[in-house]
Structure 1
Amino acid sequence: MRQNRTPALAAEPPEWLHDLTEVTKALGEPAFVDHLMRLLNRIVPVDHCAVFTFSPEGRAKHLFTQSKMPKSRAERLASDYVGGYFADDPHFATLAGLRQGASSATEIIPLDLKSDYDPAYRQHFFERNDLIDKASVAAAVESGVVYCNFYRMGGSGRYSPEDWRRLTHFLPLVTSLIAAHYKMRREHPAAGQAPEGGGARSLIHSVIGRAAPPFDRLTTREREVCARVLLGFTSEAIALDLGIAPSSVTTYRKRAYHKLGVATQNELFSLCLAAIERASVG
């Protein structure tokens, strides 16, 4: 008599499975990027990650950057890229094909830094910043193309054949997660706005969102940034939530602090509490 046998499960699930679960749970939330990078580094160590989108018309937009290089330098590279350097990217033709539906849905694009890149482009983005290897993947989505770039720096060495094998298997998944995350952000912009819950949002909105004094001195964008600072968002999370560059978050925060006469988050919080007290008395 034939016996039905259930296939034996592995004694231990792969280490990255928990990280993948956390990434999936964080879709649409500000914490998504941090969870994604933990997952990716569990699979293959990455020193610098830069993600962009291209609209059907070919406009480039920076989504996020995570890097071991100084933050200001990483942000400058992203700004330079969307500012015009993207047209010199040797992947540009592939990206155009994806935008126009002439290529497959997802492509992993390995290139040789010495032979495939223009010397000036290579010097600006790679040699000056100790970037020595790059894996890129692009995926066609409803709104255009998601373009993800994963770099290694000199101290880590180039990707090994085993690294490339893993990247080939996992990068389409990583890119799909990124595309799903930003689709959710577009369709549900309020998702993940408040780690502390509705009560904190409501109180802060009552004084900052409605421009109660002294927050009436601020522009709308400055108030939006201050509200998220008070809710505990990091600069990266604020940038993601508002769809602006992290450097712009810093600029808006500095302007707001100057107008309000504060220098720290604690002082901003005290100012907000005082405004809440005045509003409740009134």
Structure 2
Amino acid sequence: MALVISHIGEDAFGSSVMNCFRQLVKADMCSAFLLDEGEVSVLLAESADKKGSAFARIASLRYAQHYWSRDTAMLSNLGRAHSHILTARRADISIRDIDYRLECYGEGEVSERISICKSGSPGFVINAYRLKVNGPFPPDDFDIVSQISPALLAAVEKHQMIIRDHRSSFPSPTQLAIALRKLGTKKLSFREAQILALLATGYSEPKAAEQLSLGLTSITTYRKRAYAKLGLHNQQELRAAAYEALNSSL
């Protein structure tokens, strides 16, 4: 925890949280989310293996944008947390929402998460994940996460207070768009890449149209043109392209 505390407010904070989880419970990925006035935003998303970094970040953005409200287990945890800290675990096989399980667990080969939850205004969620290749968290690991949860949560809260008025180092859809433009032999226009980045991080076409102040027909036209340039056919292939683009830029 000493390294985590020393990096509060710095770009290295996320990797320090990852290293802490890795050393204590051999976690493979981690994430943290801020809950404020009905909005959910990503504070950090990291992987112990660089190859998993893009998945961790894009899956976290998609979760905040699209799947948060469908995560009934997390909503229940926060409802039970009230003003205190609650630690809970969830295996991938317990998720009935097929799309959520595929995009936030399956594509990254994630088997389980342990979550530290605190409701309130603002609220926070911190997650540690294990990959299927390494098996689920042993019971003792759950106890360890529970023991460090007050100190880790306090560090995340302080970090968020420091960075809230500054640009975050967390990849934004704009940064992903820049990375996507480097893919393929037929270069995407910035608008095409911008739209693919929004769709890859959980925006629907209507929400992307609203975000960019464009008509829905224009969004569809740009998306089809970009798909053709990159040889994409569906959302799953788009996410794979986004993982490749972001991994290349990290």
Same-fold call, TM cutoff 0.5: yes
Shift of 1:158: 0.7
Residue 152 (structure 2) aligns with: 174
Residue 43 (structure 2) aligns with: 63
Check whether the contact 1:91–1:109 (CA below 8 A) recurs between aligned residues.
no
Superposed CA deviations along residues 52-87 of structure 1, whole A, max 9, x for unmatched, are: 11112x211111110235333333212221222111
Q: Which amino acid is the alignment partner of residue 248 of structure 1?
A: T
CA radius of gyration, larger in: 1
**Distance of 2:147 and 2:105 partners within structure 1:** 25
| Residues 163 and 248 (structure 1), Cα distance of their counterparts in 2 relative to 1, 3 Å cut | same
| Residues 25 and 127 (structure 1), Cα distance of their counterparts in 2 relative to 1, 3 Å cut | closer
Secondary structure (helix, strand or coil) at the match of 1:152 reads strand
Superposed CA deviations along residues 95-129 of structure 1, whole A, max 9, x for unmatched, are: 6637xxx7132111223443454344223322332
Secondary structure (helix, strand or coil) at the match of 1:62 reads strand
Matched, 1:249 2:175: yes
**Distance of 2:107 and 2:176 partners within structure 1:** 25
Q: Which amino acid is the alignment partner of residue 82 of structure 1?
A: A
Secondary structure (helix, strand or coil) at the match of 1:158 reads coil
Residue 8 (structure 1) aligns with: none
Residue 225 (structure 1) aligns with: none
Check whether the contact 1:95–1:145 (CA below 8 A) recurs between aligned residues.
no
What's the Cα RMSD here? 2.8
After superposition, where does 1:72-221 map in structure 2 within 5 Å? 72-94=54-76, 97=79, 103-115=82-94, 117-140=96-119, 142=121, 144-186=122-164, 189=166
Structure with more relative contact order (C-alpha pairs < 8 Å, separation 6 or more): 2
Superposed CA deviations along residues 23-68 of structure 1, whole A, max 9, x for unmatched, are: 2222112222222222222211111112111112x21111111023
| Residues 146 and 155 (structure 1), Cα distance of their counterparts in 2 relative to 1, 3 Å cut | same
**Distance of 2:171 and 2:76 partners within structure 1:** 26
Unmatched runs of 5 consecutive residues or more in structure 1: 1-19, 190-240, 256-282
Residue 54 (structure 1) aligns with: 35
**Distance of 2:83 and 2:28 partners within structure 1:** 28
| Residues 243 and 55 (structure 1), Cα distance of their counterparts in 2 relative to 1, 3 Å cut | farther
- Over the matched positions of the two proteins, sequence identity in percent amounts to 20
Matched, 1:32 2:13: yes
Superposed CA deviations along residues 115-169 of structure 1, whole A, max 9, x for unmatched, are: 4543442233223321111101112354x21111111002211101121121121
After TM superposition, the score normalised by the length of structure 2 is: 0.61
After TM superposition, the score normalised by the length of structure 1 is: 0.55
Check whether the contact 1:90–1:116 (CA below 8 A) recurs between aligned residues.
no
Aligned length: 180
| Residues 45 and 252 (structure 1), Cα distance of their counterparts in 2 relative to 1, 3 Å cut | same
Secondary structure (helix, strand or coil) at the match of 2:127 reads strand
Check whether the contact 2:27–2:128 (CA below 8 A) recurs between aligned residues.
yes
Unmatched runs of 5 consecutive residues or more in structure 2: 182-250
Q: Which amino acid is the alignment partner of residue 110 of structure 2?
A: L
Structure with bigger helix share is 2
Check whether the contact 2:14–2:45 (CA below 8 A) recurs between aligned residues.
no
Check whether the contact 1:95–1:138 (CA below 8 A) recurs between aligned residues.
yes
Shift of 1:178: 0.9
